[in-house]
Amino acid sequence: MFWRRGIRYKLAIALWGVAIIAFAAAGLALVLFENLTLERRVGQIMEPYAQLVSVGTEAAVAFEDPGRAQEILNTLRTNPQLSKAEIFLRDGRLLARYSGRSKEASLPPSLKPDGVYLNHNNAELLQSLQDGAHLRLVMSLNELNRQTQEILWKFALGMFVLLVTITLALRAALQKTIIDPISTLVKTVEQVRTRADYSRRVPASGVDEVGRLGQSFNAMMGVIQEREGDLRRLTLFQRTILDNAAYGIISTTTEGIVSSFNRAAEHLLGYPAEEVVGKLTPVCWHDQEEISRRALQLSEELGETVAPGFEVFAVRLRRNLPEENEWTYIRKDGTRMPVLLSVTALQGASGQITGFVGLAYDLTERKQAEARYRALFENAVDGIFQTTPSGRFIDANPALARMLGYTSARELMACVTDIPQQLYAWPEHRAEISHLMEERGVVEAFETRLYRKDGSSIWVSVNGRAVCNGSGAILYWEGITEDITERKKAEEELNRYKTHLETLVQERTVQLEQANVRLQEMDRLKSMFIASTSHELRTPLNAIIGFTGMTLQGLSGELNEEQHDNLARVYRSAKHLLALITDIIDISKIEAGKISIFPEEFPLEELVDEAIAIVTPQLQKKGLSLERELPATLNMYADRKRLFQCLVNLLSNAAKFTEKGRIIVAARENDGSIELSVTDSGIGIAERDLPRLFKPFERLESHLRVRAGGTGLGLYLTAKLVADILRGTISVQSREGEGSTFTLSLPRDLRRVPEPPDLVREGGGTP
Amino acid sequence: MKTALIIEDHPDSMVLISRLLEKWGYRTIGAGTGREGIELALQNRADFIILDIQLPDMDGTEVLRSIRAKLGHDTPVIAITSYAMSGDRERLLAAGCDGYIEKPIDPELVLSQIRDVIGEEHEDTDR
């Protein structure tokens, strides 16, 4: 009963027990002390009286005077404790006697030596007096015993109170420092145990064992809580993996009873987990025939009988062999599917198998892909191969066999055991391919000739790659062989044509070169022709103009009016013809790139004035005014003569097509270029005519054209000169009936204009 | 009366220039080739020389150089070019010409051009 009580009770019992024992021990000690000190205390009381009697009775003894002795002895009455006093003489006679209470019979003096003797309830003192007499004092112990008892009672009471107080205080202290913390701890531990609440802590302070116990408990709870968190997370993690795994995961006991079945497995097989957990596998979703076949196969393999049941999955694992196999699963709806099932044993700490886990992977898509690949392989037009680097076939497709004249891929692979020697017309090509595979891992469009079964040969193009393992070592080659015999033939044919064509081209090139030489010669002849034409056509015209002019001036005598008119027409026509020839020569030279540029520095104003002077007679004849708006000093570096020619052309055109009003010549410089414009108030140019303006012989459909005259080459030549010689641009703004403005935009300094490579600037004199 | 030496291979031109100069009151001497021209220039001490640049036997500038070498710069030389190419003017002036006339010779202009070169006052302003 005691041992089952709480620590509080046990401690209380212990404390009280100790208190009682202490109480008893103290009491005993006191009694013992009192007894031990009794003789001394008695001596202390009696010895002064004995001394008093001894001194007082000295004379009475000597004289054997009993009265005197009696007197002395009677003084002892003052102490009621002294019950008897007797004086004996040497011969044993009683000299005197005092008795406090009754007439007690005097006892003969004993022969004991001097000293104090304790009896049951009295104490006896013997002392020798002079002359051999003895004093015997008897004292009652009642008084002393009473005193002793009183002391004992007081002591017991005090002791009791003290012990009770101490015990209660101790209990209270223990309650606070040990019992309460331990009870709390116990309660907490019980709560933790029953509620699995690892967040509980106990109040723990102090450095004593109890404090440390609490602290250790709290620390331990911390660790446990952390572990608990970890465990929870791990479980969640596992749960998540299991729920979301792409593999069907099925775990079983060692006997094959399904213990878990994840979502992927549910999805894979169509069974809900609760329908299969607790059942024995292989139950519903395995093909029993397949299990039997596998059992037979395993029996053969392992040399022991394997029952066609769960053991087919476990037997290999029990022997530490891996277990992975393809199986057919039958879904709940009866459909079948191929799966890859990999089974692993779960092992306990001591290595014993505690269960199995199977991972099932749906092979449907892979099988389909394999089938597709196989179909491609079987039906390809090109040959597909897998070979070892040393030259044996691993696989070949029917197309390759056909290409090489064999009836089947099997025959090809059986017959050809040394690819380099048996197939390659040039075995060194095989060595080259081998080299490429090692160096680059691929071979692209490698063309070579292979022998067929019948000894004939074909041209092929090989595309392949080296298939390597993880560490980069070549496992085998695979690739495609294309029969390019026809293409090769075509190429050869093409080559022949090409060679033929090249010969033809060469011949033709020679012919063309000859023709080109002739053409260059002709071009030179043309230039010479133009040069001589220039001279030859102009010489007679010079004579005509010269003599007609002379005659018209009246230097050869007076002319009548008709003669003057006739000659004037001859003169004008000759001048026109000369202008036309001059323009044609200029144009042909520009077009042939034979014209030379002679740039020089000159004041623009001077050039403009010279040009104005040329057209002044025309203007005066028509009564037109001319204004010039020129900067005072503006020098130009250009081909002066050609610019002059252009300006005269523009001015005479303006004069030609203007009947009344004025002509303005203006120039202004702008950032290294000069804009020179001629504005008239003439007939203008219709918008539709503008595009044709700078083309040769494009005289415009103007009502004035009959009267206008001119070569029809003027603007064409001007535009050419502006572009090729002056390196500027010409533009026109015009409104029919209101007049035109022709603007030349020219570089102020020709030296600052980059040279086009095909133009000669200097040299090349008179043609 | 001043004398002009005309060095010109083409007869029509020769006649035209001679006649014009004679009408205007000059004496003319004609030479059909470059060599003849140089020879006559040295013999006759003409007051001025009219020189066709295109001659059958020599280049006009050659003739000019020979004359300049022998007569110095006292005698003005006026060149005649068939078709004034750009650059001819510069070439001729650089070679020592005092002036030049372009063909076709315009009777209305040629007199004043010659007079400008030889330093005579214009007698008339006919055009």
- pLDDT tens, position by position, A250-270: 888 888 888 888 888 888 888
CA dist A691 → A272, A284, A685, A720, A723 (Å): 90, 95, 10, 15, 17
Residue of B nearest to A556 (CA): B23
- Residues B82, A547: C-beta atoms closer than 8 Å: no
pLDDT at A704 over 60: no
Q: Which of A542, A549, A767 sits opposite B13 (nearest CB)?
A: A542
Q: What local confidence, expressed as pLDDT, does residue A387 receive?
A: 92
Q: Alpha helices of A553-633 — where are they, by DSSP H?
A: 561-591, 604-622
Highest mean pLDDT among A589-603, A739-753, B85-99: A739-753
Residues of chain B with C-beta less than 8 angstroms from the C-beta of A553: 107-108, 126
Distance in angstroms (rounded) separating the CA atoms of residues A98 and A75: 9
Which chain B residues are closer than 8 Å to A765 by Cβ?
85, 87-88, 91
Residue A761's pLDDT is what?
Answer: 44
pLDDT at A705 over 70: no
d(C-alpha A744, C-alpha A209), whole Å: 117
Contact A87, A70 (CB under 8 A): no
Residue A527: pLDDT band with limits 50, 70, 90: low
How many CB atoms neighbour CB A293 within 10 A? 13
Q: What is the pLDDT of residue A34?
A: 82
Rounded to 5 degrees, what are φ and ψ at B71?
-105, -5
Distance of CA A541 to the CA centre of its chain: 94
Over residues A738-747, the pLDDT tens digits come to 889 999 999 9
Of A555, A639, A767, the CB nearest to B107: A555
Q: Which chain A residue's Cα is nearest to B59?
A: A766
Contact residues, chain B, for A547 at CB < 8 Å: 12, 16
> What pLDDT is attached to residue A691?
78
CB burial class (10 A; 0-12, 13-18, 19+) of residue A356? buried
Best of B103, B111, B126 to disrupt the A interface (most A CBs within 10 Å) is B103
Q: Hey, is the C-beta of A763 within 8 angstroms of any chain B C-beta?
A: no
Confidence (pLDDT) at A514:
92
What's the confidence (pLDDT) of residue B126? Answer: 40
A582 to chain B: closest CA residue:
B83
Name, in order, each residue with C-beta under 8 angstroms of A716's C-beta and a sequence gap of 6 or more.
A587, A694, A695, A696, A697, A698
The answer to whether A122 contacts chain B (CB < 8 Å) is: no
Q: Is the pTM of this model over 0.80?
A: no
- pLDDT at B80 exceeding the cut of 80: yes
Residue B124 has pLDDT above 50, yes or no: no
- Is residue A384 very low, low, confident or very high in pLDDT (cuts 50, 70, 90)? very high
Partner-chain residue, chosen from B20, B103, B107, that has the shortest CB–CB distance to A538: B103
Exposure on the CB side of residue B96, measured as CA atoms within 13 A: 20
Please say if the pLDDT value at position A733 is more than 70: yes
Q: Is the pLDDT of residue A411 over 50?
A: yes
Q: If you measure CA to CA, which chain A residue comes closest to B12?
A: A543
Please name the residue of chain A whose CA is at the shortest distance from the CA of residue B109.
A549
CA–CA gap between residue A338 and residue A327 (Å, rounded): 6
Residue A530 and residue A589: Cα distance in Å, rounded? Answer: 9
Least confident of A131-140, A514-523, B77-86: B77-86
Taking residues A674-695, what's their average pLDDT? 85
Classify residue A424 by its DSSP letter. Answer: B
- Predicted confidence at residue A759, as pLDDT, reads 47
Q: B126 to chain A: which residues are within 8 Å by CB?
A: 553
For residues A653 and A620, is the Cβ–Cβ distance under 8 A?
no
pLDDT of residue A1: 63
pLDDT at A464: 92
Which of B107, B126, B127 lies closest to A546 in CB terms?
B107
Which range has highest mean pLDDT (A35-44, A358-367, A509-518, B107-116)? A509-518
Flag whether pLDDT at A760 surpasses 50.
no
Please indicate whether, in this complex, the C-beta atoms of A766 and B106 are within 8 angstroms of each other: no
Question: pLDDT by residue (tens digit) across B32-61?
Answer: 999 999 999 888 778 899 998 888 888 888
Q: Nearest by CB to A543, which of B13, B54, B126? A: B13
Query: Would you call B82 and A539 a contact, using CB atoms and an 8 Å cutoff?
Result: yes
The structure tokens listed for A38 are 């009794």
| Confidence label for A101 from pLDDT (cuts 50, 70 and 90) | low
Q: Could you give the angle at which helices A485-552 and A561-591 cross, rounded to 10 degrees?
A: 150
pLDDT greater at residue A526 or residue A739: A739
- Residue A463 pLDDT greater than 90, yes or no: yes
Interface contact flag, A549 B23, Cβ < 8 Å: no
CA-to-CA distance for A216 and A189, rounded, in angstroms? 13
Residue A54 predicted with pLDDT over 90: no
Peptide bond before residue B104 is cis, with ω within 30 degrees of 0:
yes
Residue in B23, B83, B89 nearest the CB of A555: B23
Q: What confidence category does residue A405 fall into, taking pLDDT thresholds of 50, 70 and 90?
A: very high
DSSP state of A764: -
- Beta pairing partners, A260: A251
Confidence of residue A511 (pLDDT cuts 50, 70, 90): very high
Amino acid found at A317 = L
Contacting residues for B44 by C-beta, under 8 A, at least 6 apart: B3, B5, B29
pLDDT the model gives residue B83:
59
Do B85 and A542 count as a contact with CB atoms less than 8 A apart?
Answer: no
Cα nearest neighbour of B105 on chain A: A546
